[in-house]
C-alpha cells in the first residue's frame, strides 16, 4: 500500500466553512462511511507490514494466554456442574490441560498483550490522523470546485440573511452544506474523527486489522 502524498497547496481554500454552529455535528447527514480501499490508500507499505506483524504477535500471545489460563479452565469445570455443557471426556481433557498450564507464562502473555495493544493504538492513531487530513483536502477541493460552479452561473455561495422569530438578524445558510459531494465527504470525515476520538488500546487491534490487512472478519466498526 502506497501512502497518499499530502500537500497544503493542492488547491485554493474554499470560502464555505464546515466547522460552524450552523452545521452541528449531531445533524451531519449520513452519507456513508469511508470505503476500506479508501483507508488502505493512506497506509504506507511499512505501516501495513508492521501492522500485520503486530497482529501475528498478538494472536500468538493470545493463544499462550489461553493455553495457560488455569482460572478460565477451572471456571468451565465449575460451570458444568450447574449446566451440563461438556462431556466427561471433555472435562477430563480440561483437567489435564490445567496440570500442564503455567501461571507464570499466562501472566507474561497478558503483559505482552497489553504492550501490543498500546503499540496498536499508536499505529492506528497515526493512520487515523492521516486519513482525516486527506479527507480535509478532498473536502476543500470539492467545495472550491462547487463554489466555482455557483459563481459561473451567477448563484450566491450563501443564502440571504433574514430575521428569525425573535427578530434577531440571522445570516443566510451556506449553499454547499446541501451539496451532495460535500455532504458525503464531510459525513465521512465526521465518522472518521468520531471513531478516532473513541480510540483506546482495547479497540486499537481491530483498527490495525482494518487498516493494515485485507482480512474479512475484523472486530472493527465505524461510530
Measured distance CA(191)–CA(220) in Å, rounded: 13
What's the confidence (pLDDT) of residue 221? 92
What's the confidence (pLDDT) of residue 129? 97
pLDDT tens digits for range 25-45:
444 455 578 889 999 999 999
Question: Which grid coordinates belong to 13?
Answer: 481554500
Asked if the model's pLDDT at residue 209 lies above 80, the reply is yes
Q: Among the listed ranges 11-25, 42-56, 189-203, which one has the minimum average pLDDT value?
A: 11-25
Question: Which grid coordinates belong to 91?
Answer: 472435562
Confidence of residue 11 (pLDDT cuts 50, 70, 90): low
Question: Which grid coordinates belong to 17?
Answer: 466553512
Other Cβ atoms closer than 10 A to 72: 14
Compute CA distances 28 → 21, 25, 31, 40, whole Å: 11, 5, 9, 25
Provide the 3-class DSSP secondary structure of residue 81: coil
Percent of the chain with pLDDT over 90: 57
pLDDT tens digits for range 120-153:
999 999 999 999 999 999 988 888 888 888 888 8
Residues sharing a CB contact under 8 Å with residue 160, sequence separation 6 or more, in sequence order:
172
Q: Where are the beta strands (DSSP E) in the chain?
A: 162-163, 169-170
What's the confidence (pLDDT) of residue 25? 43
Measured distance CA(61)–CA(108) in Å, rounded: 9
Among the listed residues 221, 42, 53, the one whose alpha carbon sits nearest the alpha carbon of residue 128:
42
Average the pLDDT over 102-122 and give the result.
98
Asked if the model's pLDDT at residue 4 lies above 50, the reply is no
What is the torsional sign of CA 26, 29, 32, 38? Answer: negative
Strand partners for 174: 158
Model pTM score: 0.80
Among the listed residues 1, 6, 2, the one whose alpha carbon sits nearest the alpha carbon of residue 129:
6
Answer for the pair 68, 99: CB distance below 8 angstroms, yes or no: no
Average the pLDDT over 196-206 and give the result.
96
Asked if the model's pLDDT at residue 1 lies above 70, the reply is no
In this structure, what DSSP letter does residue 162 have? E
Amino acid at each position: 500500500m502506497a501512502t497518499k502524498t499530502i500537500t497544503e497547496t493542492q488547491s485554493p481554500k474554499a470560502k464555505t466553512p464546515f466547522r460552524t454552529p450552523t452545521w452541528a455535528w449531531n445533524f451531519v447527514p449520513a452519507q456513508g462511511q469511508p470505503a476500506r480501499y479508501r483507508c488502505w490508500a493512506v497506509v504506507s507499505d511499512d505501516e501495513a507490514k508492521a501492522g500485520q506483524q503486530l497482529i501475528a504477535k498478538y494472536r500468538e500471545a493470545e493463544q499462550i494466554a489461553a493455553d495457560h489460563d488455569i482460572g478460565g479452565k477451572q471456571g468451565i469445570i465449575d460451570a458444568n456442574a450447574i449446566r451440563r455443557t461438556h462431556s466427561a471426556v471433555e472435562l477430563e481433557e480440561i483437567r489435564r490441560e490445567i496440570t500442564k498450564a503455567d501461571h507464570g507464562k499466562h501472566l507474561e502473555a497478558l503483559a505482552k498483550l497489553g504492550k501490543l495493544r498500546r503499540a496498536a493504538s499508536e499505529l492506528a492513531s497515526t493512520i487515523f490522523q492521516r486519513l482525516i487530513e486527506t479527507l480535509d483536502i478532498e473536502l476543500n477541493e470539492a467545495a472550491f470546485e462547487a463554489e466555482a460552479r455557483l459563481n459561473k452561473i451567477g448563484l450566491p455561495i450563501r443564502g440571504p440573511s433574514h430575521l428569525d422569530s425573535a427578530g434577531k438578524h440571522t445570516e443566510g445558510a451556506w449553499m454547499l452544506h446541501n451539496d451532495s459531494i460535500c455532504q458525503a465527504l464531510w459525513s465521512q470525515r465526521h465518522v472518521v474523527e468520531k471513531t478516532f476520538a473513541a480510540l483506546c488500546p482495547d479497540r486499537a487491534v481491530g483498527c490495525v486489522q482494518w487498516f493494515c490487512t485485507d482480512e474479512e472478519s475484523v472486530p472493527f466498526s465505524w461510530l
